[in-house]
Amino acid sequence: MASHLTISFNTPPKKFPSSPFSKAHLFSSSTSTTLIKINIKTKNLLFPTHTRCSSVSSLSTTLENINETQLVFQEDERLLCEIWKEIQGCNDWEGLLDPMNPHLRREIIRYGEFTQACYDSFDFDPDSKYCGTCKYQGAHFFEKLDMADRGYQISRYLYATSNINLPNFFQKSRMSKIWSTHANWIGYVAVCTDEEEIRRLGRRDIVVAWRGTVTYLEWITDLKDILHSANFGGDPAIKIELGFYDLYTRKEERCRYCAFSAREQVLAEIKRLLEYYDGEEISITFTGHSLGAALATVSAYDIAELGLNLVDGGAKIPITVYSFSGPRVGNLKFKERCEELGVKVLRVINVHDKVPTVPGIIANEKVQFQKYIEETISFPWSYAHVGVELALDHTHSPFLKPTKDLGCAHNLEAHLHLVDGYHGKEREFRLATKRDIALVNKSCDFLRSEYGVPPYWRQDENKGMVRNGDGRWVLPERPVVDSHPPETAFHLEQVLGRIGRTSASQ
């Protein structure tokens, strides 16, 4: 693809000067100005849209002074609907990350905001009797989060049982429980329903967003660094970390929210949606931050391993994971199987964040002989990251202050800020979408003080307390939280029956 720099002159030039670029063509002219568009034979390289020069000599100086580290990358002339499969990783994002393609930047941020919505809607407050739930009903979810213009609707909420070995992931009320002693809201499935947005995207998109952790490092101490066979229909040598496995597969039949495991909830809903939108162009996108990124990767693999994304004729519905600050999930066999199945994972990390370095500190994808270590000597603590890494560095942002707070380096809003300013390795940090920097301090203290944004500023007004008819301050009752659609068992049986028939035929 050729990119362009448009330059206008006060008077038409008589001779076009030599330049460090490949070719230049007279683009258009008039009596007052001459516009010259320079074709740059560099993939996805985009210049400031317009430069004004008073003369040919000043143009020559302008061109000579431009170098790659000073460029501002603005627009890809192609429409997203034309290249959406590339943006979703069909070619492993080759040529799209350095320099950063503007469509990809916006999509990373967009899916990151779907993930951030899990934090913004979750009741973390242990003094709330609703602690552990989503604050909003599904029908009003995006509206309450000022995301109604995204064109998506909640399809179902996801729950996980807290009766597992990751206690620091779950939130429980100090008050008497009114909704469940066993469950936490853990994310949602949403589907694009707005026709204009579907045309812009080039397909109908299904999003599965997983909630991450409330605290930064507490949950890491709960990881046992024990690998467990995934048992999702593939090779038993494919293993994932035990805590992730339990969180994804455990259920509690005494609880109506956890009567189905998180895994069963996802499988049933993806099956239902694919049947409902049969024949349409569809993508399935998983996203999550921190521990939620691990769940996103596990569930994406699960869908692909079961072949739920296969359609008539053998075609595959693309499965993509946008992972933020995610830990390693499984062993090398898990990574290799994800690649075989065509699961595309883009891992966005901050190089100063410690979470992406665990588990697998001793044996991981950076170790030269990992395959030998894992398969020949059966080393039980071998882990490997899946997918393509987009490594960012918060010290490159002039908006962020130096800090030793590891939580800041792990913060999701900070990651989205870094994506907004990233243009490629060794290139100047410069905000591209003008995303509000105040968002960085929603749940941390990371912005420089001169910007006047208070830390930890996002909170419910009066902690949700309102005046009743008698003038007393009370916590209003919330509507009953959505549990599971009545057809969940039916669609899950279709999935499990399909697995059984496949196993029998083999």
Give the model confidence (pLDDT) of 217-275 as tens digits: 667 777 778 999 999 987 999 999 999 999 999 999 888 899 999 999 999 999 999 99
The answer for 93, left when phi > 0, alpha when psi is -120 to 50, beta otherwise, is left
Residue 61's pLDDT band (cuts 50, 70, 90): low
Least confident interval from 57-61, 206-210, 228-232, 341-345: 57-61
Q: What are phi and psi of 15, to 5 degrees?
A: -145, 130
Q: Is 353 a catalytic residue?
A: yes
Q: What is the pLDDT of residue 214?
A: 64
Pairing of strands 183-192, 204-210: antiparallel
Residue 177's pLDDT band (cuts 50, 70, 90): low
Pairing of strands 473-474, 23-29: unpaired
C-alpha span between 438 and 505 (Å, rounded): 57
Residue 316's pLDDT band (cuts 50, 70, 90): very high
Please pick, among 290, 299, 382, 483, the residue that the annotation labels catalytic: 290
Cβ atoms of residues 492 and 268 within 8 Å: yes
C-alpha span between 145 and 289 (Å, rounded): 18
Tokens of 179: 């909704």
Residue found by looking up tokens 């209003």 in the block = 476
Residue 38's pLDDT band (cuts 50, 70, 90): very low
Residue 4, pLDDT > 50, answer no
Rg (CA), the chain: 25
Cβ atoms of residues 308 and 502 within 8 Å: no
Q: What is the pLDDT of residue 154?
A: 97
Nearest to 384 by CA among 337, 422, 341: 337
Name which CATH class applies to 80-498: alpha beta
Residue 381, pLDDT > 50, answer yes
Nearest to 251 by CA among 266, 264, 269: 264
Length, in residues, of the chain: 506
Please pick, among 103, 182, 410, 484, the residue that the annotation labels catalytic: 410
Least confident interval from 81-85, 385-389, 480-484, 497-501: 497-501
Q: What is the pLDDT of residue 483?
A: 81
Q: Is 302 a catalytic residue?
A: no
How would DSSP label each residue in 403-457? ---HHHHH-HHHHHHHHHH--STTS----SS---GGGGGGSS--B-GGG---TT-
DSSP, collapsed to helix, strand or coil, labels residue 260 as: coil
Cis, bond preceding 99 (omega within 30 deg of 0): yes
C-alpha span between 163 and 149 (Å, rounded): 37
Residue 475, pLDDT > 90, answer no
C-alpha span between 263 and 281 (Å, rounded): 24
Residue 62, pLDDT > 60, answer no
Identify the helix (H) or strand (E) that includes residue 333.
helix 332-341
Q: Encode pLDDT of 117-145 as tens digits.
A: 999 999 988 888 888 899 999 999 999 99
Q: Where are the chain's structural domains?
A: 3-66, 80-498
Please pick, among 125, 302, 353, 482, the residue that the annotation labels catalytic: 353
Nearest to 9 by CA among 47, 60, 46, 66: 60
The pTM (predicted TM-score) of the whole model is 0.84
How many other CB atoms are there within 10 angstroms of residue 438's CB atom?
A: 15
